[in-house]
Amino acid sequence: MKELTTDHLLGIKYLQKEDIDLIFKTADHFKEVINRPIKKVPSLRDITIANLFFENSTRTKLSFELAEKRLSADIINFSAAQSSVKKGETLIDTVNNILSMKVDLIVMRHSQVGAGVFLSKHVKAKIINAGDGAHEHPTQALLDTYSIREKLGTVAGKKVVIIGDILHSRVALSNIFALLKQGAEVKVCGPVTLIPKHIRSLGVSVETDLKKALTWCDVANVLRVQHERMDIKYFPSVREYTQQFGINAELLHSLKKEIVIMHPGPINRGVEITSDVADSNQSIILNQVENGVAIRMAVIYLLAQKIKN
Ligand code: CP
């Protein structure tokens, strides 16, 4: 397969297994490029990309920007806080104004579920979803599963538990789709109030006992509790959450086997994970961030080929 089956990256849900294989193969090449003394290739000198961030971001925004620069694309950055969105302009008007400046591809983070899908139906540009509300975060799931493949050699057959606030997490949903498409077994673990009732219908199992979940898995992907998306209390206190679902070194040592620890960031140290675990040899958290640049270079490159063809 030489090109993606989709014109946009709106969610892992819309990708075939072959698309993921192609993105990983392309990312392998770009990972080699970004480890050279000269980390840049001229591939996208004729492409202009707008990064539209309507919601806060550190890793994703910087990683996309660096990926675009490494590919020699022209880029413009937009942050909602300083824009005319504050004066009542619609999303379509905002984006069409940006597109009239001859932009080819849009990377967008938005708090509304489905914002990327909506935009793809109304504007003439390739769209990459950089996170839409509590729905999908496809490049995060791609970089997460790429990092598992790098660490363990393959994703197929591996047992992965996603721990924490599954209900409000776009990372969880995209990871579930990406892991299942690549043949992993997936379990979710957290307080029952933070696990969606329908989750088993996606093909995952549920465990509310953290020690049992960790004993089962090869990889634990630990999520942050998203207080900013909660309008009610889902557990009695942060202290109790940490006691029941926090990962610490004592717990990991009690397993008598080594598992891989992941976290998409941002981390709340001492809440869902202790510093000694986050910074341990078992943790691949910074490898995930490093791989994010190669994965985003691959996604942008492959979508840009569809513009050129
Ligand atoms: N993992 C992630 O999406 O982090 P940011 O919110 O900092 O982009």
pLDDT for 47: 97
- Closest by CA to 30, choosing from 152, 264, 22, is 22
- The two three-digit tokens of residue 148, written as one number: 């598992």
pLDDT for 79: 83
pLDDT for 225: 84
Q: Which pLDDT tens digit goes with each residue over 144-163?
A: 999 999 999 999 999 999 99
State which ligand 1 atom lies nearest to the alpha carbon of 55.
6
**Which pairs from 236-239 meet CB under 8 Å and 24+ separation?**
238/271
State which ligand 1 atom lies nearest to the alpha carbon of 61.
8
Please work out whether the CB of residue 57 comes within 6 Å of at least one atom of ligand 1: yes
Please work out whether the CB of residue 305 comes within 6 Å of at least one atom of ligand 1: no
Instruction: Tell me the C-alpha to C-alpha distance, in Å, between residue 285 and each of 56, 105, 123, 260, 270.
Output: 20, 29, 36, 10, 16
Please work out whether the CB of residue 60 comes within 6 Å of at least one atom of ligand 1: yes
pLDDT for 88: 80
Please work out whether the CB of residue 288 comes within 6 Å of at least one atom of ligand 1: no
Q: Which pLDDT tens digit goes with each residue over 191-213?
A: 999 999 999 999 999 999 999 99
CA of residue 119 to ligand 1 center, whole Å: 21
- Going along the chain from its start, the domains and CATH numbers come out as 12-135+289-308 (3.40.50.1370), 138-288 (3.40.50.1370)
Please work out whether the CB of residue 59 comes within 6 Å of at least one atom of ligand 1: yes
CA of residue 282 to ligand 1 center, whole Å: 21
Report residues of the chain scoring pLDDT below 50. none
pLDDT for 184: 98
Task: Indicate the pTM of the whole model.
Answer: 0.95
CA of residue 265 to ligand 1 center, whole Å: 6
- CA-nearest residue for atom 5, ligand 1, is 57
CA of residue 1 to ligand 1 center, whole Å: 30
